[in-house]
Amino acid sequence: MTAAVGLVSVTRCIGERPIVDDVTLEVRERELLTLVGPSGCGKSTLLRLIAGLERPSGGAITLGGLDVTDVAPERRRIGLVFQDHALFPHLTVGRNIAFGLRRFDRRRRAERIDEMLELVRLPGASRRYPHELSGGEQQRVALARALAPDPAAVLLDEPFASLDASLRDELRADVVAALRERGAAALLVTHDRDEALALADRVAVMRDGAIVQVDRPEVVWSLPNDEFVARFLGPVSLLSNGHGDFEIVRPHQFDFVGGGSDRVVEREFRGAVWRHTILRADGTQLIVDAEPGQDLEVGATCAVHVRPGHQLARLSRP
């Protein structure tokens, strides 16, 4: 099966400095891939390269198996959704959605607009102007506009970043549902690790212009390639095994019993669990989750051990 989006050794330099450094990556048909990394790591540039808004200094980009490295953005059939949604403020919602539907005749265009507004759960909004909509509604229209011409792939650049938390969860679910319903391959860029893990079929972690790891969310979470990925995706403890290697352990993979040489120095309530910071006798700190009822007070002594049955990532410290 050919990939919806394929990148082969794509590099983008500004001056001598590589912003995107030898990236090889594919987004499969009907797949939602999230691209996550700290700000300034080159995520957005990678997106602009795929859309054709910037030209790679080296490497090749394919869409649906065709080389599009030298193809202008308007010929690539890419849908693009920005954080600031970038709706055309002088056009109504309907005409925004119709912007990419030039080859459609009038009847099919009207049908498609209705279909898209139905899809993003904004039926009847066609005649309104962008400024009359809320932030979340504007983002829905932006998605409808991107999906309307049946693009080969949809690229979303931090689409939920400007929305407040309560709105974000609902919109996220709707956006994913809409993407799935259209069967579109999608690449979603975010700096929010929870978002990246929650939405993705696969997660790609980026750092300093390079892709560090690509895999299913549960794999990158529990079996990270290196310490950066481990720490970037969530709280983690490093357990040295004494031979220069160390194991990385997520908070839920620990268990403890009262009385021992370890001591609780801090704890916070996270809803489903209490998260403890525990200081070991050798000076290392561990982060350990325990369900309410199993938790310990600050100052309590305990003995921490890894729960049996968990496969742990083993890394050698550089």
Partner 1 sequence: MTVAWRPGRGPGWALLVVVSVVMAAPVAVTVWSITDPSVEVWRELWRTRLPGMIVETAMLVALVVTGTVIVGTALAWLVTAHEFRGRRLLSWLLMTPIAIPGYVLGFVWLDTLQGPLGARAVRSIWLCAAVLIVSLYPYVYVFAWSAFREQSPRTIDVARTLGRSSFAAWWRVVVPMARPSIAAGAALVAMEVLTDVGTVRLFNVSTIADGVLRVWFGTGNRDAAAELAVLLVVAAASLIAVERALRGRARYTQTGARDATSGRPVTGLRAAAVNVAGWGVLCIAVVVPVARLVGWALRAHRLGQTETISGDLGFHTASSLKVAGAATIACLVIGTTMVFIARDRGRWGAALGRLASLGYAVPGPVVAIGVVVTLAALDRRGWWSGEVLLVGSLAGLVYAMVVRFLAVAHHGIGASVSKVSASAVASARTLGAGPLRVATRVELPLARAGVIAAATLVAIDSLKELPVTLLLRPFGIEPLPVWVWQATSESLWVQASVPSLMIVAIGMPLVGLLLWSVERGAQVVS
Nearest-approach distance from CB 99 to partner 1, in angstroms: 5
As a whole number of angstroms, the distance between CA 197 and CA 11 comes to: 26
Residues 219-258 that bind partner 1 (CB under 8 A): none
Nearest-approach distance from CB 280 to partner 1, in angstroms: 45
- 182 contacts partner 1 (rule: CB under 8 A): no
Binding track over 127-166 against partner 1, x by CB under 8 A: ---------------x--xx--x-x---------------
- 87 contacts partner 1 (rule: CB under 8 A): yes
Chosen residue from 15, 89, 244, 258 binding partner 1 by CB under 8 A: 89
Q: Which helix or strand (DSSP H or E) is residue 204 part of?
A: strand 202-207
Token pair 């040295």 is at which residue?
240
Q: 202: which residues sit within 8 A by CB, 6+ positions away?
A: 31, 33, 34, 214, 215, 216, 217
Nearest-approach distance from CB 43 to partner 1, in angstroms: 15
Nearest-approach distance from CB 12 to partner 1, in angstroms: 10
Nearest-approach distance from CB 149 to partner 1, in angstroms: 7
Q: Using only C-alpha atoms, what is the Rg of the chain?
A: 23
Q: State the DSSP string of 44-85.
A: HHHHHHHHTSS--SEEEEEETTEE-TTS-GGGS-EEEE-TT-
As a whole number of angstroms, the distance between CA 154 and CA 221 comes to: 25
Residues in the chain: 318
Do residues 87 and 67 lie in contact, with contact meaning Cβ atoms separated by under 8 Å? Answer: no
Judged by CB, which is closer to partner 1: 89, or 183? 89
Binding track over 39-78 against partner 1, x by CB under 8 A: ---------x--xxxxx--------------x-xxxxxxx
Interaction site with partner 1 (CB under 8 A) = 48, 51-55, 70, 72-80, 82, 84, 86-90, 99-100, 102, 142, 145-146, 149, 151
